[in-house]
Amino acid sequence: MIEIEIKGHYGQFIKGCLRRIVEDKGVIVYADDPNTEETIPLSELRLPPKDSPDSLTLAPNQHVEALLPLNLKEDQRENGFADALAGLKLQPTTATSRLANPLACLTCPSWWPCVVTKFRDDHAVVQLQPVLPEPSNGAPKEYTELAASLSNMTEICQRKILRPVSGDVPCLRKEDFFTHKLDIPPELLPYASDPAVHEIMSQHCNGPVSIVLENNEVTVLSPSAEVIRVASLLEEMHVRMLRQKYSIIKYINQTKRTDVSFFGWASF
């Protein structure tokens, strides 16, 4: 998969994955909902920054980004951000996409702008500093009120979920990606349309990659030329594996139909 970040309404960078590119837009899924695709302009998307959290040196009043909300199943301590979100009464919206409704993205893991107020060893207390929507943009009152409420919130974070401010990371451009068309036989296209059958190949590409069926072609997409080179080397073996698996599934289905027909006839 190709991990990306989506620009949120409050200055946060929402975690997601890029499936494919259509003209000047990206087809993405959110980190907390991998089954629902949404089309977003590339100008609102970017790759994650390359800085490692291990290289972050904490200091009082330092501006950072924190990954929130935390996973309560993995972190059982008090979690003010998640508790506050749980208490929100989100109103129904007529927005045609999740990103168009600022409230709908709050529960998705995102990198939020914060400032360090205290720190000790590998932990820090941070205060959220969300970007307040401009009144001139006609933002509903509840959106601006929520931003004001979030700015009063503090959270205890481990260093591993903090990173330097990354506002200078450029947005995605179509020309930054490389593609390779897999030569899939026509009879295998219905089977190859399931992204799950390409997971093994994706793992062996050793890098960010998306393999999808579009326009009756299986396309490999990646921001890395090396990943595309590896994919082209794996192509023949991958097609052979798809053919073998498809033949097995076809044989099993045929056997089931034969058994049903036999026992149905025998019942007479």
Where does a domain end: 164, 187, 215? Answer: 164
pLDDT at 73: 44
Q: Which two tokens stand for residue 104?
A: 């709908």
The answer to whether residues 151 and 180 belong to one domain is no
The answer to whether residues 185 and 241 belong to one domain is yes
- Domain count along the chain: 2
pLDDT at 231: 95
Rg (CA), the chain: 23
Residue 119 is assigned to a structural domain of this protein:
yes
The answer to whether residues 55 and 134 belong to one domain is yes
Q: Is 187 exposed, middle or buried (0-12, 13-18, 19+ CB in 10 A)?
A: exposed
H or E element in which residue 252 lies? helix 225-266
The answer to whether residues 218 and 193 belong to one domain is yes
The answer to whether residues 59 and 141 belong to one domain is yes
Whether omega for the bond prior to residue 186 falls within 30 degrees of 0, making it cis, is: no
* Cα separations in angstroms, 119 against 38, 59, 74: 38, 7, 22
pLDDT at 53: 63
Residue 10 is assigned to a structural domain of this protein:
no
Residue 64 is assigned to a structural domain of this protein:
yes
pLDDT at 139: 61
Cα gap 10→124, rounded to integer Å: 22
The answer to whether residues 65 and 150 belong to one domain is yes
- Residue among 55, 141, 52 nearest 91 (CA): 141
Full residue range of the structural domain in which residue 196 is found:
175-266
Residue 65 is assigned to a structural domain of this protein:
yes
Where does a domain end: 124, 141, 164? Answer: 164
The answer to whether residues 157 and 227 belong to one domain is no
Concatenating the DSSP letter of every residue in 44-111 gives GEEPPP---GGGPPP-TT-EEEEEES--TTT--S--HHHHHHHT--PPP---SSSTTSGGGGTTS-EE
CATH of the domain at 211: 3.30.310
Where does a domain end: 164, 187, 211? Answer: 164
The answer to whether residues 138 and 207 belong to one domain is no
The answer to whether residues 55 and 114 belong to one domain is yes
Strand residues in 189-230 grouped as ranges (E): 210-214, 217-222
Low-confidence ranges of the chain (pLDDT < 70): 52-54, 70-96, 133-142, 258-268
Residue 2 is assigned to a structural domain of this protein:
no
